[in-house]
Amino acid sequence: MIKVLYDGWSLHQAPNSPEALHLLGILGQRHPEVHPLVALPGELQSLLPKGITSHVEPAPDTRSARLAWEQRSLPRMARRLGADLLHLTTSHPPLLGKIPSVVSPADYPTATPPEGMTDRLRQALSSGGMARLRGLLWPSPLEAVTPDRITAPLYLIPPEPLTYTSLIFDGVPPELQALNLPETYILYHGPGDRRSLRNLLEAWSWAAHSIGEYYPLLILGLDMPSRTHLHALLGELDLQDTTYILPPLEPALVPHLYQGCTAVFHPAPPSAWGMCAWLALRMEKPFVAAESALADALAGAGAYLLPGQDRRALGAALITVIVEEGVAESLSQAGKQRAAGWDLNNFSDALFAAYQAILVAG
């Protein structure tokens, strides 16, 4: 039996984030020889699958508290609980600690430089932690674009099945009905840093006046500081009438939003284990995104990819997939074929084998 402590910060503070959804997928597909423990900065009522043991060490949702959580609390909890491994779904492992750390990176590459001493310190310590990492878990469909400058052993893992919810839905859940969502909409489920949000709205501004009345933009997964900043941007760019900021939702509702959308808009770099591109393709939705080697390797012909700095072209591409049914259908079918080629049957076995190899390597 391998005892693994998982970092549950995002699951508590940002339950719709890619890091949280990826962690739920891991926990839902746990191997019978893995004893999972989840470290949390606060109590959770119902998100964790049955049989999962949580350990709470209260911490406020601040930058300095998260830095202390990553660098002090997690190593201390891992040692106290007798964990064999510490598994994070963000690229911010602790620099010090006797328990070996592994990362399956679901966080987005940030487009905004670190702001202030705390952010710069977090980046520096995380870089040191990544240099000491005992294993990097990488999605096997992205083998051709493994990250540069990573010295840790690389373990290829199939995409995890979304065990926290079904991918086939009948009707709209009552929780979503209560939000009075529009019948047709475009979904953004991407990074919430300042530069990414400005890029998003500047690209959306090229499409909003043409399609925004009937196909407004729904924005999911932002934390409170990002939501506050986005409200100010909406006023500055006069996009309040065509943009909806969604509140935090139960993670099981996230795929419903993908199923109900007309297109997924992601004018930012994708994350390796993030759910945006994976869900767009699995739900057969047109995926309009910023061009990158990672996006191309993941989506291929299932995405309409354009340079991320060309906001006008991204907005025009969004209009195209809305008004030209043939283009949307072609993207949807290509995405379906791409997703059909993913091996979803061996995730837990592959993850367990990686854990074993990391521990044997010492």
Which pLDDT tens digit goes with each residue over 274-333? 778 888 888 889 999 999 888 888 888 888 998 988 999 999 999 999 999 899 899 989
Average pLDDT over residues 178-194: 90
Residue pointed to by tokens 């939705």: 285
Of 54 and 164, the structure prediction assigns the larger pLDDT to 54
Average pLDDT over residues 111-117: 72
Of 141-145, 205-209, 316-320, where does mean pLDDT reach its minimum? 141-145
Q: What is the pLDDT of residue 112?
A: 63
Average pLDDT over residues 38-45: 90
Residue 70 to residue 347: CA distance in whole angstroms: 26
Model confidence at 168, in pLDDT bands (50, 70, 90)? low
* Residue 223 amino acid letter: D
Query: Is the confidence at residue 139, as pLDDT, over 60?
Result: yes
Strand partners, 5: 37, 86
226 in Cβ contact with 201 (< 8 Å): no
Q: 168-196 burial string, b = 16+ CB within 10 Å, else e?
A: eeeebeeebeeeebeeebbbbbbbbbbeb
Model confidence at 162, in pLDDT bands (50, 70, 90)? low
- The values of phi and psi at residue 254, to 5°, are -60, -50
Query: Is the confidence at residue 95, as pLDDT, over 50?
Result: yes
Q: Tokens in use for 169?
A: 């839905």
Q: What is the pLDDT of residue 164?
A: 45
Candidates 269, 278, 270; CA nearest to 159 is: 278
Q: What is the pLDDT of residue 33?
A: 95
CA atoms within 13 A on the CB side of 130: 20
Structural domains in the chain, CATH included, are 2-161+344-361 (3.40.50.2000), 174-340 (3.40.50.2000)
| Three-state SS letters, the chain | CEEEEEECHHHHHCCCCHHHHHHHHHHHCCCCCEEEEEEECCCCCCCCCCCCEEEECCCCCCHHHHHHHHHHHHHHHHHHCCCCEEEECCCCCCCCCCCCEEECCCCCCCCCCCCHHHHHHHHHHHHHHHHCCCEEEEEHHHHHHCCCCCCCCEEEECCCCCCCCCCCCCCCCHHHHCCCCCCCCEEECCCCCHHHHHHHHHHHHHHHHHHCCCCCEEECCCCHHHHHHHHHHHHHHCCHHHEEECCCCCHHHHHHHHHHCCEEEECCCCCCCCHHHHHHHHCCCCEEEECCHHHHHHHHHHEEEECCCCHHHHHHHHHHHHHCHHHHHHHHHHHHHHHHCCCCCCHHHHHHHHHHHHHHHC
Cβ contacts of 6 within 8 Å, gap of 6 or more: 23, 26, 27, 36, 37, 38, 39, 87, 88, 89
Indicate the pTM of the whole model: 0.92
Q: Tokens in use for 85?
A: 């491994």
Q: What is the pLDDT of residue 169?
A: 58
Query: 188-199 pLDDT, tens per residue?
Result: 999 988 889 999
How wide is the angle at C-alpha 16 spanned by C-alphas 260 and 148, nearest 5°?
A: 105
Model confidence at 111, in pLDDT bands (50, 70, 90)? low
Query: 225-275 pLDDT, tens per residue?
Result: 888 889 898 888 889 899 999 998 888 888 889 989 999 999 988 888 877
